């Protein structure tokens, strides 16, 4: 059985030994989802989500202060919390178009301690199902509140991760929250018990696994499992110990450290696969949502054991929770586009729970229609789940909620309604495959600083240059055959199989953009091979926020991509670097282009260029949330195009 993570050297067939407590199986060769599927599964399609208080009262009381935009010291907080579970609120949200709720279930205080809150959740589930809303129960994956939990499981200290000094690892430095080890069989059994309780007793439709990532653990279980894994993969290193953890390594050359990161990523995915299999045995159509803090910074694999092609295949949905509230700030286009591209490449869907900045509380919420419209439009246009993480949070007046502010409620209803229109347009469509950006595990992790700077710089050019593009991971390198152009930026560590697939792509006539070069392809020549200096693409990044500034010389790469594409592209948007483009096609006869305007001003002078496959099209129309459909004309000629009238935030162009 082969690992799904490619190596920059060839491996034998047996790549992993399942030497972990609890009978864990081989953490490689996981069942593959259909990457980039145009048609989501029944459990994923037509879902519109809402935050529904995923923190129980005990968490608010124990933490104190402002928690997730909820003032725990407000005298009316208990009344708001009680009303949150009422049929009145369920009916209101269903009327607005919400049909998926994420609420509290298991926070880590213990199933015994949380029994009363669980019964409250069960009551909410009954109301929700009555009004057509599915419910996912919050299930804390990385935190045990030991002050209460030890009363139920006295030996739970044995389940906890150890840091390099042998100290118990905590969640985020909170001493009252211990972080359990995923290799502990007893902890896994407890999580499976919680899953059974949630599905059979509470009636949940699925789970929201929060913080389902894993920092390095140096407990005896993990040391033994890593040594066994190394003995199989590298017999000469059979007695090695886990290496010390660095904060943010830019480059990893030590082969033991390289294998250690692989092992941790595979171990986390195997753990999630184990829980998934257990849940599906109880409820085959269970919905699984994870929040592994991805993509939040470029070192997810090293710092948190998260590599999307492995972990993402064990989930239906994945939160992108960060401060990237859509908009333009200090020259950067702030978006969740990259998170959505990664999701489409693997086969899960993004649930965007983004926060605005707030000087007082740190976490802010949208406060006008424009912000609400942009948040929903971004998700709808990029295949994520439209919804709201703000609507049911306290308004600050008694037990009222933010959605009860008339202007905010009207905005949510209006833009969720339009999101349903856009999703119906995608129901039988397939994504346009113009340009691919390759991401490989070895390059991203072992040459992190250079690989991320170049890949993100190239992606920023594609985002703001009006191109239709997607991500291809090394695990699914065969998907390259779907695309016309491949951008190879910062991919310094390629396996033989990956390099062969790229040469085959070129042999079939695909265009290759080499950013900064790659020795493996120095001998390649031809009109569809373009080389661009690294400095022209390397982006200035604010990695703590996941934001990327457009490279100053970005048009050099944009022009190179346009030349290499020739007449093989489907569509490109001209006229603004603040409007993004995503596109879908129906049987090669109709194109649907989704345009999202991240600026605060209505668009002007936009032009949608069309590839030669649309030369027979004669008409187009523009749909927006703000007015009636507008008929457009397809201008014929060597370069067919559609001039677009002004729109505020979201426009959908149908060319036919």
Q: Is residue 27 part of a domain?
A: no
- 528: pLDDT confidence band, cut at 50, 70 and 90? confident
Task: Name which of 176, 180, 149, 146 is nearest 22 in CA terms.
Answer: 180
In this structure, the answer to whether residues 484 and 541 fall within a common structural domain is yes
Q: How many CB atoms lie within 10 A of CB 227?
A: 18
d(CA 360, CA 379): 28
Residue 566 scores a pLDDT above 90:
no
Q: Is residue 540 part of a domain?
A: yes
In this structure, the answer to whether residues 421 and 446 fall within a common structural domain is no
d(CA 26, CA 17): 6
Residue 30 scores a pLDDT above 80:
no
Q: 75-94 pLDDT, tens per residue?
A: 999 999 999 999 999 999 99
Q: What is the pLDDT of residue 178?
A: 97
In this structure, the answer to whether residues 584 and 440 fall within a common structural domain is no
Q: Ramachandran region of residue 387, left (φ > 0), alpha (ψ -120 to 50) or beta?
A: left
The domain that holds 610 is classified in CATH as 2.60.40.1180
Q: What is the pLDDT of residue 606?
A: 96
- Which of 566, 589, 614 lies at the terminal end of a domain, its last residue? 566
**Average pLDDT, stretch 114-143?**
97
- 142: pLDDT confidence band, cut at 50, 70 and 90? very high
In this structure, the answer to whether residues 552 and 474 fall within a common structural domain is yes
Q: 156-182 pLDDT, tens per residue?
A: 999 999 999 999 999 988 899 999 999
In this structure, the answer to whether residues 390 and 453 fall within a common structural domain is no
Contact 572, 609 (CB under 8 A): yes
Q: 219-247 pLDDT, tens per residue?
A: 999 999 999 999 998 888 878 999 999 98
Q: 596-620 pLDDT, tens per residue?
A: 999 989 999 999 999 988 888 889 9
Q: What is the pLDDT of residue 592?
A: 96
Report pTM.
Answer: 0.92
Q: Is residue 497 part of a domain?
A: yes
- Which of 547, 566, 585 lies at the terminal end of a domain, its last residue? 566
Residue 35 scores a pLDDT above 70:
no
Q: What is the pLDDT of residue 476?
A: 95
Q: Is residue 39 part of a domain?
A: no
Q: What is the pLDDT of residue 42?
A: 41
Q: How many CB atoms lie within 10 A of CB 173?
A: 6
Q: Which residue has the higher pLDDT, 62 or 289?
A: 289
Q: Ramachandran region of residue 546, left (φ > 0), alpha (ψ -120 to 50) or beta?
A: left
The domain that holds 224 is classified in CATH as 3.20.20.80
Q: What is the pLDDT of residue 540?
A: 66
Considering its fold, how many domains does the chain have in total? 3
Q: Is residue 1 part of a domain?
A: no
**Average pLDDT, stretch 447-452?**
92
Q: What is the pLDDT of residue 359?
A: 58
Q: What is the pLDDT of residue 161?
A: 97
Task: Name which of 592, 585, 580 is nearest 378 in CA terms.
Answer: 580
Q: Which residues of 232-254 are buried (b: 16+ CB within 10 A; e: fewer)?
A: ebeeeeeebebbeeeeebeebee
In this structure, the answer to whether residues 635 and 616 fall within a common structural domain is yes
Q: What is the pLDDT of residue 380?
A: 96
- For residue 454, give the 3-state DSSP assignment: helix
In this structure, the answer to whether residues 335 and 240 fall within a common structural domain is yes
Q: What are the start-end ranges of the E strands in 367-464?
A: 387-388, 430-431, 435-439
The share of the chain scoring above pLDDT 90, in percent, equals: 73
The domain that holds 458 is classified in CATH as 3.40.50.2300
Q: What is the pLDDT of residue 485?
A: 96
In this structure, the answer to whether residues 558 and 581 fall within a common structural domain is no
596 burial via Cβ count (<10 Å: 0-12, 13-18, 19+): buried
Residue 24 scores a pLDDT above 50:
no
In this structure, the answer to whether residues 604 and 539 fall within a common structural domain is no
Q: What is the pLDDT of residue 7?
A: 42
Q: 348-405 pLDDT, tens per residue?
A: 999 999 888 765 556 789 999 999 999 999 999 999 999 999 999 999 888 999 999 9
d(CA 656, CA 519): 44
Task: Name which of 252, 230, 340 is nearest 303 in CA terms.
Answer: 252
d(CA 134, CA 208): 12
- The whole-chain average pLDDT of the chain stands at 89
**Average pLDDT, stretch 554-560?**
91
Q: What is the pLDDT of residue 599?
A: 95
Exposure of 572 in the CB half-sphere (CA atoms within 13 A): 23
In this structure, the answer to whether residues 410 and 552 fall within a common structural domain is no
Residue 40 scores a pLDDT above 80:
no
Q: Give me Rg for the CA atoms of the chain.
A: 25
Q: 278-331 pLDDT, tens per residue?
A: 999 999 999 999 999 998 888 999 999 999 999 999 999 999 998 889 999 888
Q: Is residue 335 part of a domain?
A: yes
Contact 64, 73 (CB under 8 A): yes
d(CA 108, CA 17): 30
**Average pLDDT, stretch 535-543?**
72
Q: Is the N-terminal amide bond of 295 cis, ω within 30° of 0?
A: yes
**Average pLDDT, stretch 445-456?**
93
**Per-residue CA distances from 36 to 33, 56, 224, 460, 506 (Å):** 9, 36, 37, 20, 22
**What strands, in cross-sheet order, belong to the sheet with 144-145?**
144-145, 174-178, 170-171
In this structure, the answer to whether residues 511 and 656 fall within a common structural domain is no
Q: Is residue 37 part of a domain?
A: no
In this structure, the answer to whether residues 620 and 650 fall within a common structural domain is yes
Q: Is residue 17 part of a domain?
A: no
Residue 19 scores a pLDDT above 80:
no
Q: Which domain holds residue 456?
A: 432-566
d(CA 291, CA 312): 10
610 burial via Cβ count (<10 Å: 0-12, 13-18, 19+): buried
Tell me the three-class secondary structure of 26-65, residue by residue: CCCCCCCCCCCCCCCCCCCCCCCEEECCCCCHHHHHHHCC
d(CA 593, CA 6): 34
Q: For the chain, count helices (H), then strands (E).
A: 17, 33
Q: Which residues of 47-82 are buried (b: 16+ CB within 10 A; e: fewer)?
A: bbbbbbbbbbbbbbebbeebbbbbbbeeebbeebbe
Q: What is the pLDDT of residue 358?
A: 66
The share of the chain scoring above pLDDT 70, in percent, equals: 91
- Which of 403, 426, 449 lies at the terminal end of a domain, its last residue? 426
């Amino acid at each position: 059985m082969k690992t799904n993570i490619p190596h920059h050297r060839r491996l034998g067939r047996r790549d992993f030994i399942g030497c972990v407590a609890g009978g864990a199986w081989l953490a490689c060769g996981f069942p593959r989802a259909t990457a980039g599927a145009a048609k989501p599964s029944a459990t994923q399609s037509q879902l519109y989500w809402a935050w529904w208080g995923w923190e129980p009262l005990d968490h608010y009381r124990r933490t104190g202060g402002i928690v997730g935009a909820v003032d725990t010291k407000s005298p009316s907080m208990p009344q708001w919390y009680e009303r949150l579970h009422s049929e009145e609120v369920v009916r209101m949200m269903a009327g607005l178009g919400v049909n998926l709720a994420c609420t509290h279930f298991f926070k880590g205080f213990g199933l015994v301690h949380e029994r009363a809150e669980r019964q409250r959740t069960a009551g909410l589930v009954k109301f929700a199902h009555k009004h057509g809303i599915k419910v996912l129960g919050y299930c804390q994956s990385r935190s045990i509140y030991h002050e209460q939990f030890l009363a139920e499981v006295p030996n739970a200290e044995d389940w906890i991760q150890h840091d390099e000094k042998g100290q118990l690892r905590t969640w985020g430095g909170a001493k009252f929250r211990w972080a359990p080890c995923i290799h502990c069989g007893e902890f896994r059994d407890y999580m499976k018990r919680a899953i059974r309780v949630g599905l059979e007793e509470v009636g949940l439709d699925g789970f929201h696994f929060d913080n389902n990532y894993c920092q390095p653990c140096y407990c005896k279980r993990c040391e033994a499992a890593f040594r066994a894994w190394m003995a199989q993969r590298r017999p000469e290193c059979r007695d090695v110990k886990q290496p010390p953890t660095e904060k943010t390594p830019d480059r990893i050359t030590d082969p033991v450290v390289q294998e250690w990161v692989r092992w941790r990523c595979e171990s986390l995915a195997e753990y999630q696969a184990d829980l998934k299999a257990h849940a599906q045995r109880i409820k085959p159509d269970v919905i699984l949502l994870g929040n592994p803090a991805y993509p939040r910074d470029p070192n997810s694999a090293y710092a948190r054991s998260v590599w999307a092609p492995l972990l993402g295949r064990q989930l239906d949905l994945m939160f992108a929770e960060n401060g990237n509230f859509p908009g333009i700030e200090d020259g950067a286009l702030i978006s969740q586009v990259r998170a959505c591209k990664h999701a489409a490449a693997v086969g899960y869907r993004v649930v965007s729970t983004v926060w605005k900045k707030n000087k007082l509380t740190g976490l802010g919420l949208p406060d006008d229609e424009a912000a609400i419209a942009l948040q929903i439009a971004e998700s709808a246009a990029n295949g994520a789940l439209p919804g709201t993480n703000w609507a049911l949070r306290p308004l600050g007046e008694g037990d009222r909620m933010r959605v009860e502010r008339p202007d905010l409620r009207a905005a949510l209803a209006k833009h969720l309604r339009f999101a349903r229109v856009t999703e119906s347009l995608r129901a039988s469509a397939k994504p346009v495959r113009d340009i691919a950006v390759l991401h490989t595990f070895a390059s991203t992790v072992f040459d992190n600083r250079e690989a991320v700077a170049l890949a993100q710089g190239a992606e920023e050019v594609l985002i703001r240059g009006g191109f239709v593009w997607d991500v291809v991971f090394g695990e699914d390198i065969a998907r390259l055959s779907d695309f016309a152009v491949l951008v190879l930026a910062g991919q310094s560590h390629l396996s033989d199989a990956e390099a062969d697939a790229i040469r085959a792509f070129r042999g079939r006539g695909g265009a290759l953009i080499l950013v900064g070069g790659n020795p493996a392809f120095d001998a390649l020549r031809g009109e569809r091979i373009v080389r661009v200096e690294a400095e022209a693409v390397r982006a200035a990044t604010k990695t703590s926020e996941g934001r990327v500034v457009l490279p100053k010389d970005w048009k050099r790469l944009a022009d190179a991509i346009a030349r290499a594409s020739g007449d093989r592209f489907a569509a490109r948007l001209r006229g603004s670097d603040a409007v993004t483009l995503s596109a879908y096609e129906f049987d090669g006869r109709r194109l649907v282009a989704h345009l999202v305007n991240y600026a605060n001003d209505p668009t002007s002078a936009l032009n949608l260029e069309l590839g030669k496959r649309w030369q027979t099209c004669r008409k187009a129309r523009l749909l927006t949330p703000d007015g009636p459909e507008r008929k457009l004309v397809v201008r014929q000629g060597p370069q067919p195009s559609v001039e677009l009238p002004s729109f505020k935030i979201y426009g959908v162009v149908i060319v036919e």
